[in-house]
Structures are given as C-alpha cells and as structure tokens.
Chain A
Amino acid sequence: MDKGLLAYLLIPLLSAVIIPFAARNRPRLADILANVTLLAGLVNIAWMVLRPSVVADGFADIPGDMLFPLLLVGAIYLVALCVTFFSAWFMEEGQPNRAAYYSLILASVSAMTGVVTTTDFFTLYVFIEVLAVTSFALITTDDSRGGIEGALKYFFLTFPASALIIAGISILLIVLGDLQFETLRIFMASDVPPGPAVFAAALIMLGFLIKAGVVPFHAWTPDAYQGAYAPVSAHLAGIVTKISGVYAIVKLGTLLRFFDGRASALSEMVMFLGLLSIAVGALAALRQKDFKRMLAFSSISQVGYIVLAAGLGTPLAVIGAVFHLFNHATFKTVLFLNSASVEKSAGTTDMEKLGGLEHSMPWTSWTSVIALLSTAGVPPLSGFWSKLLIILALWEAGLRGYAGLALLFSIVTLAYFMVMQRKIFFGRKSQAAESAPEVSAPLLAPAVLMSAVIVALGLLFPYFYTYVKMVAERIIL
C-alpha cells in the first residue's frame, strides 16, 4: 500500500468515528462533517493531479504507481461527495440513524480507497469485505421491505463470492508463497507453466465477477439497486460495485497479462461474460417498467463493456476500461440521483405512472439527457470516447464480431434510454407528474456538477487522454 495515499483512507475513517459522537445532539453536524471531509479530499486530489504545473509536465511529478489509484480515489471521492451532498437535503429530518448513515458512507469510502491502493491480495480481500458489510447496511437505510429483501439478496449472493475469493487466495498462496500483486505479475511474465496460479486467479476472478454483477451472476443487482435507499443506489451503482468488483477484474486482467495470451482460456471467458452482460443487461433494460430497475440493468450492461475490455487486456483496451469505469461513475450517479429526485418529487419511479416531467422538472430532465447520451456513447460526451477506445481495441485485436456487437448494443442502450426519457420526462403530463415540482437547488447541484464533468471530459478528451494513457501504460508495464 502506498503510504502517500494512506491519508485518503485514514481521514474518512477518522471522520466516520467522530461523527456519531459529534452529532449526537446536533444531527446536522453529521451532514457538514461528512461533506467537508469528502470535499477536502477531493480538493486535495484535484490540487495534486490537476494543478497547472503538473499538467504542463505531463504528470511527470507523480510517481508511476500512484497515477491509477489517484484517478480512482478521485472518482470515489467525487461520487461520494455527490451522494452525501444529495443525502444532506434528501434525508428526512429526525431519521434516527442519520449519523450512522454518514459514518457508513465514509467507512465505505475508506474501504474503497483501501481497495484501490493496496498491492496485496489478502488486504484487497479484507477491504472488499468491509465494503460488502457497509453496502449491506446502507441498502437497508430506509427500512422498506424492498430494501431488506435487496440487502439479503446482496448478502447471500456476495457471500459465496467471498468464499471463492478466499479459496483462490489460499491456492495462490500455496503456489506463489506470497500474496503481493507484483509476485503474480512476475510469475506470469516468466516461462513457468502457469496452470495452478491461473486456476487460483480464475477463482478470485469468479468471486469478483459475482461482486461486479456480471451475467450470469448479476441476479442480486436489480433487486438491490431498486430496493435500496435512493441516494444509496447512486452510491452503490456509481462506485461501490465498480470498485469492489470491476476494479479488481481490471487489475487481475493486467496482472495475468491477458494481452500476451498466457491465460487465454480465462481471458476469452471473461470477454465472453462481458459481452453476455452487455447483451442481457441491455435487452432486459428494454422491457423494464421501473426507472431504478432499468438503471440497474443498464449498469449491468455498462459493466459488461468494462469487463469485455479488461478481458482483452491490450493497452488500448485497458485505457478504455479505466476511462469507462470513471465515466460510468459520472453518468450513472447522475441518473440514479435523478431517479431519487423523481421519487421525492413525484412519489414513484414507476415509468407507467410518470410522464411529462420535463415541464416541471427541466433541470432533472436535461441532466438526465446528458447522462443518457453519454451512456449510449454519443459524441462529444465522455462516454463516447471510452466506448470508442474499447471498440477500437477490439477491432485492432481482430475481434470484429465483438466490436460489432458492442456497437450494436450501444444503439440498444440509446433505445432503452430514449424510451425511459420519453416515458418519464417527455410526452403528456400524467397524474403523478401534475403535482411534481422541481426539487430544490442543492438536490440538483450534484447532478449538474456531474453533467458538467461529463461534458468537460468529453470536450477536453485530448488532454485527458494523455493522462489516462499514461495510467494504462504504467499499470501494464
């Protein structure tokens, strides 16, 4: 673990511990503490990575192994800040577990930071489990029946995954005698037959595939996202499952050196599962009646793109995967936060009962449009570039069929989001939409901020590209 990044883990943990004591008599203090902690972290990262002198030197000042974690820590803090800021106004006054809610979010931020900064499989496992526990508690925040059902499904499907991961780690320990990432990488680069190590890695990979919600291990995702407390859905879908599952898949893919064909069977399977996710997620999303459930299936489909690219493992594909991971965090957060706004304003997320919200909720409507266009990969938004990189990488690797299908399902993505936008925001006003005012400005601010990030990343992609490219090169070589 990099000591330079330890502060990003420890400070939220400290805040999380302080909050229950500090906010015992003043509940609003919990909001402020959580937001200030995350904002300070985000500003710090922005200062480290984006200050003009650093950008001008092409990030030469930042040590090589810190670039990728920094990018992800940035994404984690950004999404978490949006979620806490949103929650501060979304949560009803006097909810008894307000302080615990923020503590849990901060603890999950700590855990995610631990996940992305660690260089050891067992530490990775520990943090992933912390993440699972906090997510489980967060899903049940609003005490609804759906929440508890979703939480239990999450619990009981990710638990076997943990078992698989720990089994894989044990085998890996036997084979390699060590659990450092570096050891596996060096082992894979050598000429020793990789058999048992790859099998161990396959078990770990399977565990993470389940945690990432890749088809056919995705069954918990729709129920968990749909049932979860509204801002928590954004937190889960935007960043938690991506870090606890997808990040590890990308990392494993680079460690196993998928691009030089040493673990080709595993690589092919991961790619196949990625494509299957894309297809099943998109097709299932087409027929959904509930806003949040559709977003959940969309999330499965988008995770498929990242997994597909991670399975390919060439430098270009890894750039695409990393960038898509980041983009997914931006657009999915916007969409889930907007679904929370719609739920608060119109009282339901059932698309059959909604309609014509565009007139009363213009900001929500238009930020949704930006986010969905970015998801579908419409230029010049950021999602376009990452999908383009992924499809280009597939094409370059000679996988024309995969590239074509990835493109096709990108169109299906646009189709189901168009259906969603038409049913919820456009068209004639429905009964539920009649008395649905626009939510207050603080609730809109995170969605607007994220939309701005989407547009800015899309337009400034050439500058951002050098950064992401450097990240990918450094984590592969």
Chain B
Amino acid sequence: MNLILIPIVLPIAAALALLLICEKTKYIKELLAAGAAIVSLLAAANIFLQPPADLTLRWFGSAAFTLHADNLSAFLLLAVSLFSAAISVYSFSNPAKGPAKWFFFNLLMTQGFAAGAALADNMVAMLFFWEGLLVFLYTFIALSQNNHAARRTAMKAFLINGVTDLCLLVGITITAYIAGTASMSEIARNKLTLEYGWAVFAYVLLMIGAVSKAGAFPFHTWIPDAATDSSATFMAYVPAAIDKLLGIYFLARASVYLFALNQTMSLVLMTLGAVTILVAVMMAFVQKDYKRLLSYHAVSQTGYMILGIGTLNPIGIAGGLFHMINHATYKSCLFMTSGAVERQAGTTDLSKLGGLFRAMPVTGLCFVIAAAAISGIAPLNGFFSKELVYKGALDTGYTVFFIAAEIGSFLTLASFLKLGHSVYFGDRPENLKETKEAPFSMLLPMLTLAGICLAFGFGAELPLNWLIVPSLAGMSIPNPTMSGFHLDKLYFVSVIVILAAVINHLIGLAAGGGKADKASDHIHYAPVLKETYALAERRAFDIYELGMDKAVPFVSRLLFKADRFFDWAIDALPSGVAGFLGGSVNRFHNGSYPLYMALTLIGAVVYILLAGGLK
C-alpha cells in the first residue's frame, strides 16, 4: 500500500471505527483519535521528507484521479496533520466540545478529507474532498452544542460555504474545459492566461471558492457566530487552521500554479486582502468576548495572506504562505488558550475576566507568545511573515496596501493589548479566586504551538528554507532572496506601530476609566464609527443575513407562486382535461346492450370500408 493513502484512509477508518464505540467508555475514543492523528502525522512527515510515488486511480478509463505529493501539498499535509494531532491531544479533557464520539468523528473526518484535498492532483477529486469538508463543517458546528443557535450557525456556515463551493464547482468545470484536463500538474505545464475566453470568469470563481474557504471578507460572517455558538476546540481546528490552510493553498495553486494572472487581477486580490484586513480588524478591536475577538482576527489575518499572494511577486507569495502556517500556529494556540480559560474560569466574557496570569501562568505565557506573534512583534514568526508581505506589497509600487496592512497591524496589536490586559492582567474578580491551571493535555499542544511560534521566529531561516522555498520551487517560482531578521526601514515602521498601539491602549484605558475591557470604547463610540458599529452588530453588513432577511423571502415567495402555477398546470389542467374526456367516454358505458351493439356495428362497418382500401 502506498504511504500516500495513510493520511487519508487512516483518519476516515478511525472515524468510522469510533462510531462503533459506546459513548460511555472513557479515554478509548480519545486514545483512538489521538493515535490515528499522530500516526497520520508521522506518515505525513515521512511523505514530506521522502515524497512517495504518485497513486493513480483510473475511472472509466480516461479520468485519472491522482494523489500527488509535490512540495506544497506535502507541506500542507504536514501542517494539517500537525494541527489535527495537536487538537486531538488538546480535546482529551476539554468538556466543552459536545458529545465526544461525534466530536472526534468530525475531527478525524475533517482531517482525512483535508488531507485528500491537499494531495489530490485532479481538481475533480479535490472538489470531492472539498465538498466532504463542507458536510463535516456542518455536523461539526451543529453537534458541538445542543441548542438552536448552534444549528442555526451551522446552517449559516453550510449555506455560505455551499454557495461558494458551487462557485468553485463551476470554476473547476470551466477551467477543466478550457484546459482540456482536470489535472492540476498538467495544466501547470501550460498555464492558462486570463485573455482566453471564459478564463477570467473561471479564475474569479476559483478565487471565490478559495478565499471563502479561507474565510475572507465578505464570506467570513459565519466565523464570529461560530465562535459564540460553537466550541473553542472547533474554532482552533477548523476556522483557525484547516480552513485557512486549504483556502490559501488553493488560492496559491489557482493564482500562481494554474493561471498566469495579470495586473488587474493582482489589484483585485490585493484590494480584497486589504479590505478584509481592515474591516475584520475594526470589528475585532471592539469585541467584548474572548473567542469572538479571536474569530475576527482569524478573518483579518486571512487578508494578509491574500494580500501576499495577490502581490504575485515571489517575496509576497512566500510571505502569504509563511503567514498561512504561522497564522494557523498562533491562532490555534490562541483559541486553545480561550478554551482553557473557558474551561477553568467558566466564561469568555472580557468584562468578567481578569488577572488570570497568576492562576494560569502557562496558559498566560502561551497567550503572550501567540499574541505577540499575531501582532507582528519581532522576533516572533508573525513578524517575519508580515514583513515579507509588506515587502511584497511595497515592491508592487502600491503603497496604499502597505499602509492598510500597517493599520491592520496597529489595530491587531491594540486589540490584543486590550484582550491580554483584560483577561490575564489587572484585578481578578472575586468569583475567579479559585481558578486553577488547565490540565496537562491542554497545555501540551498549546506549549508545542507556542514553541513553534518561537522557533519559527528566532530561526525563521529554517521554515523558509525547508518549507516555503521548496513549495515555491514546486510551483516553479524562482527562489527569492529572503533574509530572516533584517534591519531595514520596515523594522522601524513596525516599532512605530507597536509604540502607537501601546499609546492608543493607554489612551483607551484612561478614557475607559481604567477598565481594560473598555479600552476600545473611545474608538467604538467615536462619532461616525458608533453608528457603523451599531449597524454591524445588527448584522446589517452581513450578506448572509441580508440575503436571508430580504432576498430569500422574496425569492421564496416568487418560487412559491411559480410552484403554485406549475402545480396547477400539472395537476388541475390535465386532470380537468382527462376528467372531461373520461366523463364523456363514461357516458357511452351505461350498460345498454343496444348502444354497445350499435357502436360495434358502426365500428365494424367503418373498419370493413377502410380495410377494403377506402380512404
């Protein structure tokens, strides 16, 4: 058996085996899930180090479904397996994850399908795995809590992703049609250009599919809702890690590997990235809930990756991919800390938390490292990837994107200052006096991920040379000159941003009367922003809610009317006609023998006349 199958088949087999285990058993499910995830991780590492031969399955003789581990796929597979292993260990003693059986089932299924999507060379096969993820996204959210809100959010996530997956489906169909093959490696040998016919349309559809998976504006709206209605574990796994990895992976594939983009499309992507950064971070800044705040950041950080890939120059793309893995690391870690706090303190409301650093020093430490990383403080990993994105953006000549990214950075740091201050520092409320540190099984993955943040920061050469450069080489992009920690003007800009954020935080604290959770109020309730925020809180900018409130009732009424009409046309009309005809036929069957005889004789006479050739 080819090694390449293990990361796909093993989690799925384990997930199905899980269903056989009784819900009451302790630790068997957890051990099985963690074991499967860890074995898959080892297999993924093996695949990464020694890429195995392609596995080709032929279907109907022509279409070949190939599993192909090139550098980028292997890198992605490794990342997916790593986060699965981390989350499965983390969930060992996390109670807030819904029924354990279903949680691990969804986790392993998601892992298996994500691995499949990463390894599939054929776009149709990839779409199969991609759509499989959609199913488990729904069950994951719907089963994480047993209430109406969870199911509603699950449906929202399902519908948003379903629509964009449909775009992806159409895009893939058109692309395959234009290229004459659905195999990505074959298309890459002769890249498509946007000049040709429907290519622009196809690319835009592929892009929509990719960025909505990554959770970019305006397809992000289910993520904050999921943060409140689902578990921290889910957030740490799916929106923070798997979705970002796959979305950005495919965006990179589509933008660099399959299509040769032009300047306009590059601008579109960069604008999308910048808008995502700004909108989401503005929202994140004013949040009053630990998980919700993090979820907006998950959206905002996607903007950097899209911006990086949108620059289309090697440094920017390298930055985007590097940011992808970094973001998954620290955002997963941050959501894990939120889960730990929720488990230990019982709430994630910022106004009810405070001073937990003493009670939960390890969690606090992980939070600080990850928060510093996401805020881009040197020399952590987020700093380097952001620097690369900035540099890529500057190299395109459009300074405006650089400025937008920097403003994003500023607000990110400001919001994490507020978050850290209100959760881990300041005064501890009375009811949290007894709070203890989270259990070891939760700390271990957090520490691992925080360690990776540090390692990728201090030794930034290592992941760049080992992970990113080969990935770019796999997409036949020339090796960019990337230095790790470089003291150019960007460094000073970032220092200025840090200082500005600290000053802003202090101003906010002063304005908020010393309460850390109110440190954003001076912006939240600023003259114009206040109304905007109020509208945003009422979900006035949420295309899903808008659609559900306005468009859907209208369309469904329209469809209802059309359906009534068709019903009538199908039901009433033929039955009326048939009833009329049947009735008139019936009138001839009144049981009267003379009538029958007459009918028969007339028929016979006509028959004989006609049979004789009379016409």
Do A and B touch directly, given a CB cutoff of 8 Å in the complex?
A: yes
* Chain A interface residues (CB < 8 Å from chain B): 149, 152-153, 156-157, 160, 164, 198-199, 202-203, 205-206, 209-210, 216-217, 219-220, 222-223, 265-266, 269, 273, 280, 283-288, 412, 415
Question: Whole-angstrom distance from the CB of A83 to the nearest CB of chain B?
Answer: 26
Closest to A288 in B: B586
7 closest A-B pairs by CB: A219-B596, A202-B611, A287-B582, A216-B603, A286-B582, A284-B585, A283-B582
Question: Whole-angstrom distance from the CB of B603 to the nearest CB of chain A?
Answer: 4
A199 near B593 with CB under 8 A, answer no
A287 near B611 with CB under 8 A, answer no
CA distance in complex: A206, B606 (Å): 11
Q: Count residues of chain B with CB under 8 A from any CB of chain A.
A: 28
Inside 8 A of A156's CB, which chain B residues have their CB? 593, 597
* Chain B interface residues (CB < 8 Å from chain A): 575, 578-579, 581-583, 585-586, 588-589, 591, 593, 595-597, 599-604, 607-608, 610-613, 615
Contact of B589 among A152, A203, A206, A222 (CB under 8 A): A222
Contact of B599 among A203, A219, A222, A286 (CB under 8 A): A219
B600 near A160 with CB under 8 A, answer yes
Given contacts A157-B596, A269-B611, A284-B589, contact A216 B578 (CB under 8 A): no
Question: Whole-angstrom distance from the CB of B8 to the nearest CB of chain A?
Answer: 35
Given contacts A202-B611, A203-B608, A216-B599, contact A283 B585 (CB under 8 A): yes
Question: Whole-angstrom distance from the CB of A395 to the nearest CB of chain B?
Answer: 23
Inside 8 A of B608's CB, which chain A residues have their CB? 202-203, 206
CA distance in complex: A283, B588 (Å): 12
Inside 8 A of A206's CB, which chain B residues have their CB? 604, 607-608, 611
Inside 8 A of A273's CB, which chain B residues have their CB? 607
Q: Could you list some 15 contacts between A and B, CB below 8 A?
A: A152-B593, A157-B600, A160-B600, A202-B608, A206-B607, A206-B611, A209-B607, A216-B600, A216-B603, A219-B588, A219-B595, A223-B591, A283-B581, A287-B583, A287-B586
Contact of B596 among A209, A220, A288, A412 (CB under 8 A): A220
Question: Whole-angstrom distance from the CB of B259 to the nearest CB of chain A?
Answer: 45
Closest to A280 in B: B585
Given contacts A216-B602, A284-B582, A287-B586, contact A269 B610 (CB under 8 A): yes
B607 near A412 with CB under 8 A, answer no
CA distance in complex: A218, B610 (Å): 19
Closest to B596 in A: A219
Given contacts A222-B589, A286-B579, A415-B578, contact A157 B597 (CB under 8 A): yes
| Most B Cβ at <10 Å: residue of A152, A206, A209, A283 | A283
Inside 8 A of A202's CB, which chain B residues have their CB? 607-608, 611-612
A210 near B600 with CB under 8 A, answer yes
Closest to A164 in B: B604
- Known A-B contacts: A210-B600, A216-B603. Give 18 more (CB < 8 A): A153-B593, A160-B601, A199-B612, A202-B608, A206-B608, A216-B600, A217-B604, A219-B589, A219-B595, A219-B596, A220-B596, A265-B611, A265-B615, A269-B607, A269-B611, A273-B607, A286-B579, A412-B578
Question: Whole-angstrom distance from the CB of A346 to the nearest CB of chain B?
Answer: 24
A153 near B596 with CB under 8 A, answer yes
Question: Whole-angstrom distance from the CB of B597 to the nearest CB of chain A?
Answer: 7
Question: Whole-angstrom distance from the CB of A189 to the nearest CB of chain B?
Answer: 20
Inside 8 A of A220's CB, which chain B residues have their CB? 596
CA distance in complex: A60, B593 (Å): 51
Inside 8 A of B601's CB, which chain A residues have their CB? 160
B593 near A217 with CB under 8 A, answer no
Question: Whole-angstrom distance from the CB of B526 to the nearest CB of chain A?
Answer: 67
CA distance in complex: A249, B381 (Å): 89
CA distance in complex: A266, B612 (Å): 8
Inside 8 A of B596's CB, which chain A residues have their CB? 153, 157, 219-220
A265 near B613 with CB under 8 A, answer yes
CA distance in complex: A172, B112 (Å): 80
A287 near B579 with CB under 8 A, answer yes
Inside 8 A of B581's CB, which chain A residues have their CB? 283
Inside 8 A of A269's CB, which chain B residues have their CB? 607, 610-611
Question: Whole-angstrom distance from the CB of A430 to the nearest CB of chain B?
Answer: 23
Question: Whole-angstrom distance from the CB of A328 to the nearest CB of chain B?
Answer: 21
Inside 8 A of B607's CB, which chain A residues have their CB? 202, 206, 209, 269, 273
Inside 8 A of A203's CB, which chain B residues have their CB? 608
Contact of A283 among B578, B597, B600, B602 (CB under 8 A): B578
CA distance in complex: A412, B608 (Å): 31
CA distance in complex: A216, B595 (Å): 12
CA distance in complex: A151, B579 (Å): 30
Inside 8 A of A217's CB, which chain B residues have their CB? 599-600, 603-604
